[in-house]
Amino acid sequence: MSQQSEPSRVLIVRLGAMGDILHALPAVAALRRAHPTWYLGWAVEPRWRTLLCGDDGEMPLVDRTHLVNAKEWARAPLRGETLREIAALRHALRAERYDLCIDLQGAVRSALAGRLAAAPRMIGEDQPREWVARWLFGERVVTHGVHVIEQAVEVCAAAAGEPLSPILPPLPINRDAEQWADGVVREAIGPVVLLSPGAGWGAKRWPADRYGAVAAELHAQGCMVLVNAGPQEQEIAAEVVRASGGVARAPEFTLERLISLIRRVSLVIAGDTGPLHLACALGKPVVGIYGPTDPKRNGPFGVPFLVLRHPDSKRDHSRHVAPEAGLLTITPQYVVDAAKYLLEKRC
């Protein structure tokens, strides 16, 4: 152990987004396994609390969640309601008397949220996502891992003062969503494959008509093919269904339903987006279709996977509307072949 006294009450700060929270979960799961008696809190944006908390308040990984409505607060920082909510968060965090705060986001807003807890120790990466955030950390960890999951594990290991290895995290159960998912796959005879054609911005989005061609081919080979649609993605899902000749289905999803359905699928096909990382967290094989983001850093991890990416694609987080040029070199047949390989490998 390090010279620091061992903490017993630890606050994790990873406010969002979906994929980023999922990337933090294996590190926190490792921390929980190593120290099952520690009290773990998590500061998170309200929309992502479902990744930590099931119905009836059941939380398989942490003991407490603290809701941080950071985006709304940023829109109106001086509004009375904003100031009251921040004061209430500060009171709730300090009432828990955390010994240690671990910032796994590396942003100014996450570091400020962590500071509200007034924990004696606050730790984060030496090279955080936003450079200014490092000056809000009392302790900084130089990370060496390439993947963001490996980096999160290094930060948690330094905080605990001992080596840790990432493990699959337990995700919460929603009973209504579990029943819904049972109904969706009840008629499946062969493998169930989930396509998730959305993405955070256009440059990462493989064309919907190509997802449709993949759906048609996999259906012809005996698969049930389902299409995920997140908020504002219903039209993309509908285009995939049309391009499939109507053989794919696009059920009405919520995050709870998505978690429950992925528990039942054989394979997920997606770009660099939250549902792909959710599949990995649930131990499911994935085909990743990558363009302007680097799969070595934030690609599939810890599960059987194949990543398709053109060698000329460069890492570029500019939010261009049109698909990245290298992404467009990936044909539906490449994706079908990758899917068939992983489906045959699991048999």
Q: In CATH terms, are 9-160 and 175-346 the same topology?
A: yes
pLDDT one-digit tens code per residue, 268-310: 999 999 999 999 999 999 999 999 999 999 999 999 999 999 9
pLDDT tens digits along 46-62? 999 999 999 888 999 99
Tell me the average pLDDT across 325-336: 97
Structure tokens at 247: 């053989």
**Res 347: pLDDT:** 62
Domain ranges of the chain: 9-160, 175-346
Cα–Cα distance measured from residue 197 to residue 118, given in angstroms and rounded to the nearest whole number: 42
| Domain 175-346 falls under CATH 2.40.40.20 | no
User: Which numeric CATH code is attached to 9-160?
Assistant: 3.40.50.2000
**Number of neighbouring beta carbons within 10 Å of residue 32:** 21
| CA pair distance 220, 194, nearest whole angstrom | 15
Tell me the average pLDDT of the chain.
94
Give pTM, 2 decimals.
Answer: 0.94
Residue 120 has pLDDT above 50, yes or no: yes
pLDDT mean over 170-192: 96
**Hey, what are 202's tokens?**
């256009």
Q: Check whether 2 has a pLDDT greater than 70.
A: no
